Amino acid sequence: MSIIINNLNKSYNNQIILENLSLQINSGSIFGLLGANGAGKTTLVSILNQLIKKDSGNIEIYGFNLEKNSNEIKNISSYIPQTYAFYPNLTSYENLEFFGALYGLKGEKLKQQINYCIEVTSLQKFVNKKAFTYSGGVKRRLNIAIGLLNSPKIIYFDEPTVGIDPQSRKYILEMIKNLNKTEDTTIVYTSHYMEEIEFLCDEIAILDNKKIILQDTKENLTQMKSTISIQTENQTIEIDISNSYNSFSDTIIKLKNENEKIVNINFADKNLENMFLSITKKELRD
């Protein structure tokens, strides 16, 4: 396991945000944390990255205790925030030099690491241009490049595609998938874009009502069926139409032959977004 959280509690000004939250994340997985606006995703990820303090509970990351081994955890983790975390008046290269030095990198090692980060995020064209001139997508890539400087074992992405164009979004998602595959980096990805979670993640958890209310593999969650329920005066019949509509038309013919009067037909497409809605009774986005 890369992350084990037990009975985590966090309040802001007496308002409980996370309550007895427990969660385990497998090493090397791409873990999607879903939650409506204000559910507490950023709060949880900020606690894991020691940006804010928890009230109580136990957290272990790669076998290190969050309080006792705080430096060891910082060395193996990287947090890519929603906001741009670089100097706009510096170039990509200068930003990477600056943040690399903060990690204690210097000389040849620093150069090598900068070149690696530039390559992974395809920033070659921008290395000598000042960051304030970049598009939103390129700015996000620089954020990510900085986050790779310490060769993290675990990277937290907090909604990294908010406000960028579809092409940059696709590029960033592919890049994250690749990082996970080639470096075996554990990825924790928060989002309220269901299609991103569906594309990227192999494990998914839903944060709602201060807790993790559902956690499963994407495989299991996407096996949920699409159904049609037919209500007659005497019975309700649920039909699985995930693979074909044949059983639906067969049932209609059968009911007609039996002179059963149909009073209602309901279609339930249990994709992830509908599942989220039915479990939390909330939209993913405001």
Ligand X SMILES: Nc1ncnc2c1ncn2[C@@H]1O[C@H](COP(=O)(O)OP(=O)(O)OP(=O)(O)O)[C@@H](O)[C@H]1O
In the complex, the residues that contact ligand X under the rule CB under 6 A are 12-13, 17, 35, 37-43, 192
The least distance separating ligand X from the CB of residue 159, rounded to whole angstroms, comes to 6
Judged by beta carbon, residue 153 or residue 192, the one nearer ligand X is: 192
**Sheet order of strands, 226-232 included:** 236-240, 226-232, 262-269
Judged by beta carbon, residue 38 or residue 88, the one nearer ligand X is: 38
CA distance 137 to 131: 12
The least distance separating ligand X from the CB of residue 161, rounded to whole angstroms, comes to 13
The least distance separating ligand X from the CB of residue 49, rounded to whole angstroms, comes to 13
CA distance 242 to 269: 9
Judged by beta carbon, residue 13 or residue 259, the one nearer ligand X is: 13
Judged by beta carbon, residue 114 or residue 173, the one nearer ligand X is: 173
The least distance separating ligand X from the CB of residue 13, rounded to whole angstroms, comes to 6
The dihedral region occupied by 184, where left means phi > 0, alpha psi between -120 and 50, and beta the remainder, is: left
CA distance 39 to 37: 6
The least distance separating ligand X from the CB of residue 41, rounded to whole angstroms, comes to 4
The least distance separating ligand X from the CB of residue 205, rounded to whole angstroms, comes to 13
CA distance 21 to 73: 20
Judged by beta carbon, residue 42 or residue 91, the one nearer ligand X is: 42
The least distance separating ligand X from the CB of residue 25, rounded to whole angstroms, comes to 17
Question: The dihedral of CA 48, 49, 50, 51: what is its sign?
Answer: negative
